[in-house]
Structure 1
Amino acid sequence: MNHIQANATITAGAYRQLIAVCQAGLPHEACGVLACSMDEDIATVSACPVDSLLPVNRIHTIRNVAAAAAHSFQFHPQDWIDTLYLMQKNRQSLVGLFHSHPGSLPIPSAADHAGISFSATMSYWIISLINPQSPIVQPYRYCSSDQSFRPLMLAQIGI
């Protein structure tokens, strides 16, 4: 049985960037990768509680090439490859994936359940933009034993 982490942590700067990326993507879903750069933010990593995932301190946007981009997302294949290469080159760890819901709550949809293979070490963040001026951010952890998304508590590190 996998231990499900209770917390997801993000730096204030990464949080602002995440919201800006999602708002800029309207009316379509924005998507991308959440990363942790250990070399540049050692204090941030040290501040991360033991029961948390690595803190998100880097946001990498990936173009959404879904045919119905207002209601779904699909990573641009070359952007995905380029992002993984860039992260490896810059000694960043993959923490999770994100996408926005322009017109719905941050609840995983049937497409979210079917669309991506999840690792036990990754989180899955949905940003609701029902009200673009007051986004709702909800991180999840996928539990393979019952094929469900479990909500994580969101914590920010102010820098």
Structure 2
Amino acid sequence: MNKSAAFTSQHSDIHITSAAFGQLSRYCQSGFPFEACGILTGPAQALSGTAAIITDIRPVKNISRHPEQSFVFDPMEWVKTFYDIKKNQQQIVGLFHSHPGGTAGPSIADLAGFPNGLDTTYWIVSLSLSKSPAVYAYRFVEGHFSPLMFTQISV
């Protein structure tokens, strides 16, 4: 994926609309007890500034053999979703998945499965700690996940 297709490292801030945050939480909860996964998107023009904005989530079917403990994007849905994002003049700002029975921290499987060279944010939604999901954002830097601060915004 080239830099025009993903959130690039030039961004110092990341924002998620309250609507997108709600979508993310509800979608991950609806997948319980399995891991839900997908793509976070925002307007293409938002990438030209210093802040990326997530305005929508794009669910992608989890085809893992063990969906209660891992996720694998359905390749056909991934391609269809990617082209739909581009057609609608959106950009990929991040990838997400849920941890139905774990914390919102990256697991060893997350580290091993993260695509090499992909410059995007990585969001994990924990469904096990309370009635409302715990959501954390990360960036993969020099072989490990670094936590990111994000801000919920209203538009």
Q: Give the alignment's TM-score, normalised by structure 2.
A: 0.86
Partner of 2:153: 157
What residue is the counterpart of 2:5 in the other structure? none
- The 4+ residue runs of structure 1 with deviation greater than 6 A are none
1:88 maps to which residue?
A: 86
For 1:45-91, what per-residue CA distance to the aligned partner results, in whole angstroms no more than 9, with x for missing partners?
A: 49xx83x4x11101000000001100100001111000001001101
CA apart distance, 1:131: 3.8
2: CA distance, partners of 1:67 / 1:155? 35
Distance 1:85 1:130 in 2: 34
Distance 1:6 1:69 in 2: 33
Distance 2:11 2:43 in 1: 20
Gap regions ≥5 residues in structure 1: 40-44
Q: Which amino acid aligns with 1:21?
A: Y
Q: Which amino acid is 2:152 matched to?
A: Q
Partner deviation per Cα, 1:7-59 (whole Å, 9 max, x = no partner): 431000000000010000000000000011247xxxxx49xx83x4x111010
Asked if 1:14 is matched to 2:10, the reply is no
The 8 Å contact of residues 103 and 129 in structure 2, kept in 1 or not, is answered as no
Q: Secondary structure at the match of 1:32?
A: strand
Instruction: Look up the equivalent residue of 1:15 and give its one-letter code.
Output: F
CA–CA distance in structure 2, aligned partners of residues 111 and 80 of structure 1: 20
* Matched residue, 2:131: 133
How far did residue 119 of structure 1 move? 4.6
RMSD: 2.3
Deviation at 1:134, TM superposition (A): 1.5
Aligned length: 148
Alignment partner of 1:55: what SS? strand
Residues 1:23 and 1:122: Cα distance change in structure 2 (over 3 Å) = same
TM-score by structure 1 length? Answer: 0.84
**SS class of match (1:88):** helix
Per the alignment, residue 103 of structure 1 pairs with 101
Change (3 A) 1:9 1:119: farther
What stretches of structure 2 of length at least 5 have no aligned partner?
1-7
Query: What is the CA-CA distance between 1:158 and the residue it aligns to?
Result: 1.5
C-alpha contact (below 8 Å) 1:4/1:141 kept by paired residues? no
Q: Deviations over 1:96-121 (max 9, x none)?
A: 10000001111111110111215564
- The letter for the 2-side match of 1:158 is S
Distance 1:30 1:93 in 2: 21
Change (3 A) 1:132 1:24: farther
The answer (yes or no) to whether the contact 1:7–1:154 under 8 Å persists in 2 is yes
